[in-house]
Amino acid sequence: MYSGAKTGLVLTDIQREQQELKNRDQETVTLEAEFQYAETVFRDKSGRKRNLKLERLEQRRKAEKDSERDELYAQWGKGLAQTRQQQQNLEDAMKEMQKPLARYIDDEDLDQMLREQEREGDPMANFIKKNKAKENKNKKVRPRYSGPAPPPNRFNIWPGYRWDGVDR
């Protein structure tokens, strides 16, 4: 037979075994159907049930907090001038992308860029440098150290007006 049962004259022992196998199969099918959608219960060392959703939420919060802190430290680790320069480069690139590919003679940005370039053998270059130096004089400049020559340090940094260059 297709069911696997023996046919014809069968001993009672064999028939009993077949009946037990059939009953076991039915029990496992009912147990599988009963516990098909059951959730696993996780317990801690003391035997209490663990709330996995709450634990995952806490882990996610902790990971977000750690990533936020790492991002802040990374921002502090970068120099302010480099960050400003990078931001300026990004803005310049965005500004250049907005411009058309073909640039004409009346383009103000192109004209300004070409005027600011220093060329070799330019007779007006010295005059322009003097004007820029005058403009820079108006800016506040911190006083410099004017004492005796400081001992050399490993960075070749001159002392400031608040520090004489001696490590104490």
* Residue 46 pLDDT: 95
Quick: pLDDT tens for 19-37.
899 898 888 888 888 888 8
Task: Say how far apart CA 156 and CA 30 lie, in whole Å.
Answer: 84
Of the CA atoms within 13 Å of residue 60, those in its CB half-sphere come to 6
Whole-model pTM?
0.36
